[in-house]
Structure 1
Amino acid sequence: MDYRKARTQAGFWLEYAALRAVVALLGLLGVDLASALMGRLWRWFARFNPRHLRAKRNLAFALPHLTAAERAAILSEMWENLGRTFAEGLLLPEIVRHPQRLTMSDRLVADIRATGAGGIVFCSLHQGNWELLTVCCAMVGKPVAGVYRQLKNPLAEAYFRSRRQTAYPAGLIAAGATSVLRLRSLARSGAAIAMMADLPDSTGIRAPFFGGPSSLSKLPVTLARHLGLPLVVAHCQRTGGAHFLVDGERLDLPRTDDPEADVAEGARRLHAIFETWIRDDPGQWMWATRKWSEAVLRGSATD
């Protein structure tokens, strides 16, 4: 008998059972109470997570003009938002059934509808509850397909996938060697290809972000540029509790005889928009990523 395999399988079942228990509890509380409870728990306890120190250093680097107290308040707000987002993600089907929690700006609605029946690249950042952006896109008649990373636990993977599919009517694509080809096919059929672009990307371009060199993702710009698709960039703002405003715009991309230069310039424009949105509401962005290298951060002042 393979005891290592048996132990792994037992671990998968325990994780799955715990996940189902948490979802059941949150479901009994309802979206509003579940979101508030998880937000408060994360606000209290996430500061003891090692990622808190990374977020603190990133914030001090990006917004050095703030006082230590101001940065501490932003980080507390960030953790509460992430806790709420976690709970809301587990209850995604319930939120999809009650779209009145979501308000879209007239500008974003107009830009999406202006694309007609053709496909688009729908791009965002980890701000507010980013998962709900796809719900809004589908609300105006544009089916959404998304890319995600599969979980190691096959039981949890199947469960999460079944619950997230309600927000991705055009399909969920597991990241892998064939994912780009599938995305191209879906885009050509008229779907919106949803992707996040604010995480560090070793395959991206090296350019300033908040004044410091960073690896900026170029994937959404590359896809839009090479397929001739519109690039719509949007973000989600939590306006109170589990209610949200979704805003955005179509980003015009350069189209010259140099595709590589066009993609690089498009990626810089995209991240300039991201930076503006983050500066406007820093407490709702996920600061705990490796957006800047250790070498860059060591050169900054941290209080």
Structure 2
Amino acid sequence: MPIFNLKKASQSFHHFLQYNEYILAKGCLSLLRCLSPEQSSNLGGILCKIIGTKLPVSRIADRNLQLAIPELTKAQRQHIISKVWENLGRTVGEFPHLATLTLNPPKGPGWEVVGSEYLIEQSKKSGPVLFVSGHIGNWEMLPPAVAKFGVPFSSFFRAASNPYVNDLILQLRYETMGYEVPMFPKGAKGARQALKHLLSGQRLGVLSDQKMNDGIKVQFFGKPAMTASAVASLALKLQCPIIPGYVKRIGPARLRMIVEPPIDYSEFSQNTPENIQKLTQIINDILEKWIRQQPEQWLWLHKRWPKELYS
């Protein structure tokens, strides 16, 4: 068989696998939508906890907890890791239901907000704004919740390797937010697009809690950690507000968005490497404060610190 035909056959088979993966993902999504938000959350939480705690990546979570909160006992760490997996599963299970969750129901599924005054105030203003958060609680609820207050924001995303699945996820996010805002791929190209977006007076949200090898070294839980400096760099360049906030889980499909006052960086507002370092450290300190309050709701599953600490 000619090489060209072999290549074409390989591409066709790859396309076949991707499409079938998409059909499976769409089927799972439809199944979850047949359940109530609470049932879907419970199902995702149970399955993810059963499977996830047995995976090797749980050892990374255990090591992270030893590094970050060394006073924890082994039993306490294992409890937190179990709840981390449960929270992740609940987040997945709740994802197709986020658009249906209502604000301030008396009980059951829904969401509430603390610090809404900062969003209301911002909705009356024009110009670029940065929102900063982390993978805490159900972080997928943050964009649609903020959008309800008239300040929808774009964000970075890591594209799924399967383009069909990627489109499915993006459409679900647009449906949940109620706005089809631009989404920027992680990397240099996405960073340029995000800057252009902000320069046009728009808003951008960034999850700043994961390791970035080409970031800058600042402290996180008392240890050096390579951290993305994009939020600090963009804020100092544009002199725009940075609004920190996160979504805390308080029950099955019951969420609380907590919005804090804009970060005051007026004492070092010049766009210099030193000030980028200082502002990035402030953001890390905020994230650490949130995580310490509910460690079982942060995603401890990646190697956040230097690789030599994991040997």
| TM-score, length basis structure 1 | 0.91
Contact 1:143/1:191 (8 A) holds in 2: no
Q: Which amino acid aligns with 1:170?
A: V
Deviation at 1:82, TM superposition (A): 0.3
Matched, 1:30 2:42: no
Correspondence list, 1:110-259, <5 A: 110-115=117-122, 116-166=125-175, 167=177, 169-249=180-260, 250-253=262-265, 254-257=267-270, 259=272
Q: Which moved more, 1:253-262 or 1:38-47?
A: 253-262
Q: 1:205 to 1:63 in 2, by over 3 A?
A: same
How high is the sequence identity, in percent, across the aligned residues? Answer: 26
Counterpart of 2:298 in structure 1 is 285
Q: Which runs of 5+ in 1 are unaligned?
A: 299-303
Q: Deviations over 1:183-233 (max 9, x none)?
A: 233334443201110000112221221122111221111111111110111
| TM-score, length basis structure 2 | 0.89
Contact 1:145/1:169 (8 A) holds in 2: no
Deviation at 1:176, TM superposition (A): 4.5
- Residues of 2 paired with 1:102 and 1:55: CA distance? 28
Q: Which amino acid aligns with 2:58?
A: H
Contact 1:170/1:191 (8 A) holds in 2: no
2:212 is paired with a residue of what secondary structure? Answer: coil
Q: 1:199 to 1:162 in 2, by over 3 A?
A: same
- Residues of 2 paired with 1:172 and 1:294: CA distance? 31
Count of residues in correspondence between the two structures = 293
Q: 1:255 to 1:29 in 2, by over 3 A?
A: same
Q: Deviations over 1:227-264 (max 9, x none)?
A: 11101111110011111111132112243546211111
Contact 2:225/2:306 (8 A) holds in 1: yes
Q: Which amino acid aligns with 1:246?
A: M
Q: Which moved more, 1:269-278 or 1:141-150?
A: 141-150
Contact 2:131/2:245 (8 A) holds in 1: yes
Deviation at 1:138, TM superposition (A): 0.8
Contact 1:120/1:191 (8 A) holds in 2: yes
> Which of 289, 297, 301 is the matching residue for 1:276?
289
> Which of 98, 102, 109 is the matching residue for 1:99?
102
Contact 1:165/1:171 (8 A) holds in 2: no
Counterpart of 1:301 in structure 2 is none
Q: Which amino acid aligns with 1:251?
A: I
RMSD of Structure 2 on Structure 1 (CA): 1.7
Contact 1:142/1:191 (8 A) holds in 2: no
